[in-house]
Amino acid sequence: MNSKIFDFEETRLQKEILKRRAKRVLIQLPEGLKTRGSHIAVAAEKAGATAIISADPCYGACDLALSDAELLGADLIIHYGHSETTLQSRVPTVCLEAKAKVDVYAATKAALPLLEGWKKIGLVTTVQHIHTISKIKKLLRKSEKAVVIGKGGGLTKYVGQVIGCDYSAAKSISNRVESFLFFGGGRFHAIGVSLATAKPTIVADPFEKRAYSINKDFQKVLKQRWASIHDASKSKKFGILIGLKSGQNRFNQAFEMKKKLEKNKKRVTLLSIKEITPEVIMQFPDLEAFVNTACPRISIDNASKFVKPILTINEVPVMLGELKWDNLCKGGWF
Ligand code: SF4
């Protein structure tokens, strides 16, 4: 099923292994694509390498399994589903983007009535659909929309590309557009676009061949974030979560945050962590609130699963009264 929808580039996988004369390959697949793991392993082994599929969760290109590869003696990491970033990798790594092989027409057409009130549309998508962005742009322009596509930076590679915590492609054009069209599956990235820009965002989902507004979900997230900040402001004992994933290391920010909170008479415990889950957080019942210096989407998207508030780094100034809530909303979460 997945192989019909996503391009696993098996020929390139084999070429990369042969070109690098890799003997042992660690293969990372995001959740949802792991079902192809054993098939990919067979393809890799045909190129003469021993293949090991990483069964651990992998949510982004920030999550290269560098230490695992070193421990396993792998001489190559094949990382599926995300584009290369500027993050340094000390183990040779090839990113295979798993481009989607889906038609753009039905979802884009479904989005048009929802975009009716707006003339200037910002267009963003994920790496899975980036190769179709000009086609979507053409379809929108046929309906007399002025389409703007922004250049990203940071963790993204392509013009118009967004990832879970990097919306620079949307932010760079936000003041030139009235709304955004996010082309891709699910609500996750579209909520991110709204959180980053505070602009109305429509999803055109090519997998479901339908379109919808993300506004209700966005409002729900805002309410939830406000409630978390409010709850955390009443707390005295904080845990600061220091992420250990290779591209999520914000050690200095974590140490600065500790100083900042202590200055504000909070007691702080530093916690190093790989997977931030409710179960892990429950192991520290004396801590009343947490600041997450790792992946900000865990705080935002999984909030209802945690019994304690887990703030993102940029929510802390609001909690301490140094930044107005409205200014956080205007400036965006990313
Ligand atoms: S930090 Fe989180 S949102 Fe950002 S790339 Fe990594 S997993 Fe995705």
Measured in angstroms, how far is the CA atom of residue 100 from the centroid of ligand 1? Answer: 20
Ligand 1 pocket: which of 28, 59, 189, 245 to mutate (most atoms <8 Å of CB)?
A: 59
Quick: pLDDT tens for 295-317: 999 999 999 999 999 999 999 99
Contact 162, 125 (CB under 8 A): yes
Residues 292 and 250: their CA atoms lie apart, in Å, by 10
**Which residues make Cβ contacts (< 8 Å) with residue 21, sequence separation at least 6?**
none
Q: Specify whether the CB–CB gap between 182 and 190 falls below 8 A.
A: yes
pLDDT in tens, 10-64: 999 999 999 999 999 999 999 999 999 999 999 999 999 999 999 999 999 899 9
Question: Exposure string (b/e) for 148-178, b if CB count within 10 Å is 16 or more?
Answer: bbbebeebbbbebbbbbbbbbbbbbbbeebe
The pLDDT of residue 83: 94
pLDDT in tens, 87-111: 778 999 999 999 999 999 999 999 9
CB of 313 closer than 6 angstroms to any ligand 1 atom: no
With bands split at pLDDT 50, 70 and 90, how would you rate the model's confidence at 5?
very high
- Mean pLDDT score, 148-173: 95
Ligand 1, atom 5, lies closest to the CA of: 60
Q: Which residues contact 93 (CB under 8 A, 6 or more apart)?
A: 64, 76, 77, 78, 79, 84
Question: Does residue 165's CB lie within 6 angstroms of at least one atom of ligand 1?
Answer: yes
Q: Report the residue among 63, 95, 276, 334 best suited for mutation to probe ligand 1: largest number of ligand atoms under 8 A from its CB.
A: 63
Please compute the mean of the pLDDT values over residues 251-272 and round it to a whole number: 97
How high is the pLDDT of residue 1? 55
pTM for the complete prediction? 0.95
Of 83-92, 208-217, 239-248, 324-333, the one with minimum mean pLDDT is 83-92
DSSP 4: H
Verify whether ligand 1 is closer than 6 Å to residue 126 (CB atom): no
**DSSP state, residue 68:** H
Q: Which of residues 141 and 3 earns the better pLDDT score?
A: 141
Predicted confidence at residue 56, as pLDDT, reads: 96
pLDDT at residue 9, rounded to an integer:
97
Q: What's the gap in Å between 248 CA and the centre of ligand 1?
A: 8
The mean pLDDT value for 60-77 works out to 95
Of 104, 109, 122, 264, the residue nearest 182 (C-alpha): 122
Q: Ligand 1 centre and the CA of 40: distance in Å?
A: 24
